[in-house]
Structure 1
Amino acid sequence: MALQWMILTYVLAAEVALALILTLPSPKVLKYNLISLVSLILQPALFIVPFAGFQLLDIYWKNEHRLKCTSDICTAAERDRYEKSIYKAQRNVILCASACLLYWCIYRICKYYKEIQKLEQVEKRYKEQ
């Protein structure tokens, strides 16, 4: 189970780095080459959305079937373990949501730059005529 969260964490870190690189100012030629490279990567990277969705379903199922430790019978160690698992689940939900949101942001950034490039080409053609 920890391997899945590690993979999701690394993908999220890569998405953050990619989003930062795409939003930093750079020369047009470099930016457009980078955008075309990222656009090629985006389609195979779409696996993150169903993967994160599956992880969210797993968190939900575990939350519904988790033993509640709210009575006086529970020891302090059991209560701490229960609270720790709740905190881990909350952290993992934030991780999944962030991965999906960052994927969408990167997709929109690439689409935005492609539209700008098309408009620049149309403007260039009109200027030539």
Structure 2
Amino acid sequence: MALQWMILAYVVAAEAAIALLLTLPSPKLIKSRIVSLVSLILQPAIGIVPFAGFQLLDIYWKNEHRLMCTAEVCTATERDRYEKTIYKAQRNVILCVAACLLYWCVYRMAKYYKEIEKLEEVEKRYKDQ
């Protein structure tokens, strides 16, 4: 299970770096190359969305079937273990949501930049006529 969360964490870090790269000001030629590269990467990277969704369902299922340790019968060790699993689940939910949200942001930024390029081309054609 730890490998899945490590992969998801790396994907979130990569998506955040790409989003930062897309938002940084750069020359038009470099920006268009970056956007075209990101656009090529986006289609295979859509697999992260169902992966994160499956992980969210897994967290939900484990939360519903987790043994509660809130009574006086539990020892301090059991209580600490229970709280630790709750904190890990909350962290993993944030990671899944961040993966989906960052993917959507990168997708929209790339799409908007392509639309701006098309509009600039149309404007240039009208000015030339």
Distance 1:34 1:79 in 2: 49
What CA deviation, in whole Å up to 9, does each residue of 1:34-89 have, x standing for no partner?
Answer: 10110010000000100000000000000000000011100000000000000000
The two structures have a TM-score, normalised by structure 2, of: 0.99
Matches within 5 A, 1:54-73: 54-73=54-73
Report the equivalent of 1:126: 126
Displacement of 1:114 after TM fit?
Answer: 0.4
Distance 1:17 1:113 in 2: 17
**CA RMSD of superposed structures (Å):** 0.4
Displacement of 1:28 after TM fit?
Answer: 0.5
Displacement of 1:21 after TM fit?
Answer: 0.5
Determine if the alignment matches structure 1 residue 89 to structure 2 residue 89: yes
Structure 2 unmatched ranges of 5 or more: none
Structure 1 unmatched ranges of 5 or more: none
Report the equivalent of 1:79: 79
Displacement of 1:121 after TM fit?
Answer: 0.3
Displacement of 1:26 after TM fit?
Answer: 0.0
The list of structure 1 runs, each at least 4 consecutive aligned residues, that deviate by more than 3 angstroms after superposition, is none
AA in 1 matched with 2:38? V
The two structures have a TM-score, normalised by structure 1, of: 0.99
Figure out how many residues of one structure are paired with residues of the other and give that number. 129
Report the equivalent of 1:115: 115
